[in-house]
Homo-oligomer: A and B are copies of this chain.
Amino acid sequence: MKRRVVIIGSGNVATSIALTLKDKCELVQIYSRTLTNAKALAQHVGCEAIGDLKNLALDADVYIVSVKDDAITSVVDAVPDNGALWLHTSGSTPIDVFQNKRSRYGVLYPMQSFSKSHPANMSEVHIFIEGCDSETCKEIKAIASLMTKNVHEAASAEREKLHIAAVFACNFANHMFTLSSEVLDEAGLPFDAMLPLIKTTIAKLDNMTPQESQTGPAARGDMTIIEKHLKSLHGDKRKIYKLLSHSIMDRTK
């Protein structure tokens, strides 16, 4: 018997989970407060779309709440406890958002940067889980294992550290690429020129720590170049260049 699963949310994480689970579970409903979005995803995975939590099917086995962090509580509060397993997928929301509101609950946090145009290959993603008790934990592990073999237990405090680390390694590193592309744009040069360099930087991480492989003007304390670069920068790029150069120099002293 396949688990009957409801997906609450239609964003990037909800989409990746729905696409991964569609053949492994029976998807019952997709909810989004924007019905059009729910419909788009529901059509992809072949189930019902709803735009109002009043229409939520209460007889499913698992409810995966994959909405913005600050919307999780209002979703939980809008639906009565139906005895089913309720999960959220947030890195930074503690498990106790469900406390006293659900009898079986937990967290299923896929640590990956999801986007609709680049649906992640879930089978390579690391999923961090937490359950309200050991039996529930086992069930969450079973669900996560339908998606990937990389399943780890992690309490809420560890999950927050993971999320912060991912913001640095992924979102902030990517923002460095955005700033780089802006500098190149001003000179009429293509960002593509950076790709071989970026790939070399990443390749080094396979057998060196990022601290060991650091290069560039700040790492070698080349103030002449740093001052020259700061002169030709402005706005937040200038502030960022300065702050990060000092942060690198503090670690290479």
Contact = CB atoms under 8 A, between A and B. Distances in A.
Contacts of A213: 115, 118, 174
Interface majority SS on A: helix, strand, loop or mixed?
helix
Copies in the complex: 2
A113 to B, nearest CB: 5
A188 B250 CA distance: 23
A171 B92 contact: no
Interface residues of A, number: 99
A78 interface: no
Contact of A243 (B112, B208, B236, B248): B236
Contacts of A113: 197, 200-201, 215-216
B180 A165 contact: yes
A110 B190 CA distance: 15
A103 interface: no
Interface string A196-207: 111111111110
A37 to B, nearest CB: 15
A120 B176 contact: no
B187 A162 contact: yes
27 contacts: A68-B220, A111-B196, A112-B196, A113-B201, A113-B216, A118-B213, A125-B196, A152-B189, A152-B190, A160-B228, A161-B183, A161-B184, A161-B187, A161-B189, A162-B187, A162-B189, A164-B229, A165-B184, A167-B241, A169-B177, A170-B201, A171-B214, A172-B244, A177-B210, A181-B209, A239-B243, A240-B247
